[in-house]
Amino acid sequence: MDNSDHACTSPFINLFMPEKSPDVIPMISYEDGVAALEWLANAFGFVEKRRLLEPDGQLSHAEMETGNGIIMLGTPTPEYESPKHHKRNCEAARKWSKVPWVIDGVLVYVDNIDMHFANAKKAGASILTGLEDGYPGRRYRVEDIEGHRWMFMQRAATQ
């Protein structure tokens, strides 16, 4: 979906919001929001619902659906640096990134974790852990193209 004809100076203009939205909606910043939209759709199967671009082509605001969840993303300022840059420039971030845990990340439930894992791997996601079985369900951990961490899980009842 390309709403490039909707030049935007505020991320709150014409927002996609379903009638019943989740109580919590993650908002994630990306250096290249347009590339992130395409990558998240390809690797994780998220569905783009809204794309608002600034006159210079930068992503001001976007919304994507996954199951019954929503994520919002955008490019806040030219000075913003994603987690991948923090790992390069900050010793503490390098140490922290050596563990595969998802801290300051997003948990997403999916219906078919094995298929989701295979698709993310095929799309070039940085896999932090392989598929794991345990409470409360089968899961894996991954980094996206800018270093944001995600955990995808399939509930035990649907396995």
65 plus 115 within the same structural domain: no
Read off the pLDDT of residues 77-127 as tens digits, 9 standing for 90 and up. Answer: 888 889 888 888 889 888 888 888 877 889 999 999 999 999 999 999 999
What is the reported pTM? Answer: 0.82
Please state the rounded mean pLDDT for residues 2-9: 45
More confident residue, 139 or 11: 139
Share of the chain above pLDDT 90, in %: 57
Q: How many CB atoms lie within 10 A of CB 156?
A: 12
69 plus 117 within the same structural domain: no
59 plus 126 within the same structural domain: no
Dihedral, CA atoms, 102, 48, 10, 75, nearest 10 degrees? 40
Read off the pLDDT of residues 50-70 as tens digits, 9 standing for 90 and up. Answer: 999 999 999 999 999 999 899
42 plus 88 within the same structural domain: no
11 is a domain residue: no
Q: How many domains does the chain have?
A: 2
The boundaries of the domain holding residue 151 are 83-158
Continuous segment of H or E residues that includes residue 107: strand 106-109
119 plus 68 within the same structural domain: no
Continuous segment of H or E residues that includes residue 121: helix 113-122
Mean per-residue pLDDT of the chain: 86
